[in-house]
Amino acid sequence: MCQKGLKVLIAVTLIVSHMLFLVGNVYAEAPSVTLIANPNKTDIYVGSEPTALTAKASGTGLKFKWELQGPGKIEGTGSAIFYYVPDKIEGESAQALITVTVSDDAGQETTETFTFNILAKDMSTPAASPETEKKGMSRTT
């Protein structure tokens, strides 16, 4: 009789433990994610150096899935990748959207997107004028 009661107690304990585990996973918070670019700018120019993107995420057993929509390419896996700006684009500007989807052990997921504005040329540096280019030239006869 005592062994039968012990077996029932163990079975009930296992069932309750399993139910608490399932309830805990159902109500667990979805992972959170923030994208950080280095260098930290959204306007970039064709032919620029690659930009590192890092997904700062919280949760357990995280998996990262990266996608690019627009020109350029991405390389890397895990929580950090590089975005490579194309050497040329059609028109004066384009956009590249990089999305990371982070999922956890409980199957919950969250998504964050970073947008780059790709500009055809750097307008912040003035072009050399013909007068500037002539300076320093010498005439030989």
Give SS3 for 49. coil
Model confidence at 65: pLDDT above 70: yes
Tell me the pLDDT tens digit for each residue of 117-132.
999 976 555 555 445 4
Contact in structure between 116 and 42 (CB atoms under 8 Å): yes
- The continuous run of DSSP H or E covering 11 comes out as helix 2-26
Choice between 134 and 106, residue whose per-residue pLDDT is larger: 106
Question: What b-and-e string marks burial along 27-63, b requiring 16 or more CB atoms within 10 Å of the CB?
Answer: eeeebebeeebeeeeeebbbebeebebbbebebeebe
Choice between 68 and 141, residue whose per-residue pLDDT is larger: 68
